[in-house]
Amino acid sequence: MDQRERIQAGAERLGFSFFGITRPAEPAHLAVYRDWLRAGRHGEMAYLAAEPAVEKRAHPERILPGCRSIIVVGLRYANPSSLPESPRSEGPFGRMAAYAWGKDYHDIIVPRLRELAALLEAELGCSVAHKAYTDTGPILERDLAQQAGLGWIGKNTLLISPDQGSCFLLGELFLDVDLPANTPFEADRCGTCTRCLDACPTGCILPDRTLDARRCISYLTIENRGDIPLELRPLVGNWVFGCDVCQQVCPWNKRFAGGPVDPELAPRPDVPFPGLRRELSLTPEQFNQKFKGSPVKRAKRRGYLRNVAVALGNAGDRAAVPDLARTLRHEPEALVRRHAAWALGQLGGRDARHALETALPAETDALVREEIRRALDQGSQAG
């Protein structure tokens, strides 16, 4: 093997299914990114629009002084359609994005990239300045991956490999040494297919291969720290962390996303399809224990239980009314109580109305009281 092949073999031993090399240069989609920010489609993710970070995205060489090469790797996770649906007879279930079924990828990819840097130093026989990233730095990762020959940016905004679909996570290793670069992937193999745009529950995927994060279920259930907008709550369905719809319908995943999954990203018990009524009762200690080392911790307990309450409201199972009523009375987080009130209004019925009427006089938070009144009004109109 030549030097490049030995480096790639080292990356494969570390578990990376994808490997490519590119040079630091202005990203091809920088103008699209700037337009996206100007349109406010990044929602509350203000860190994306911070000018120092935008400048680094425009000039990747500024991330590491003297940067001359960038290794881009990918770590495969489970095809979101690889597990059967949980039996509905056991109660309403939520759905979790497949990348979050196992360990937090941040804790996997960056340490392995540092190991790869050590392998590279051994190969070259010299010290190598480097910086490792995965979804944490001011980088347009998909642009770098396309330039490194890994695939194209699809209509669903994800990087798609012609051999392995899109169910993988990207990582980057910035280096101050010259390595032979890959040929960029120039082809667009989405063709006339629009399945991802047609299937998106909230219509957040836009024709220019960007998305409006403010409508994206992944954003709403993870990055969004406040209330899920009223008009979007019914569209969230039973997703409690992230969303995989645009990947599930993609023909490239139906054909090619069935390869071996990194063991650390394999599904943990009761994570892909969590029982919603049980999840709603998670104490802070139970939440931290269940999701220790999981990306779900990013949503925090209050965000996760907010999502669970919305999913219960969408499930249409009135057996959840006592659980939601208990949450409305005793949950310390007002954010969760607001969404529990909404869910009771969605489920309707005498018991749900009684729970709302009982909670209203004792509620001290003005926004929760407003949500309760709205739910009661909705029930009155429906009746």
The one-letter amino acid code at 48 reads L
Q: Is 135 a catalytic residue?
A: yes
Catalytic member of 35, 104, 107, 135: 135
Side-chain half-sphere exposure of 63, counting CA atoms within 13 A: 27
How far are the Cα atoms of 115, 155, 186 from residue 161, in angstroms, in the given order?
Answer: 25, 13, 12
Q: What are phi and psi of 309, to 5 degrees?
A: -60, -45
In terms of Cα–Cα distance, which of 37, 179, 170 is closest to 112?
Answer: 170
Helix axes 106-124, 3-13, angle to 10 degrees: 150
Q: Residue 231 corresponds to which tokens in the numbers above?
A: 């008009």
CA dihedral 37, 42, 47, 50 (to 10 degrees): 10
Is-contact 74 169, C-beta < 8 A? yes
The residues near 42 (Cβ < 8 Å, ≥ 6 apart) are 36, 48, 49, 213
User: Which long-range contacts link 11-15 to residues 24+ away (Cβ below 8 Å)?
Assistant: 11/71, 11/73, 11/116, 14/112, 14/115, 14/116, 15/75, 15/112, 15/262
Dihedrals φ, ψ of 275, to 5°?
-70, 120
Report, as residue numbers or ranges, the catalytic residues: 135
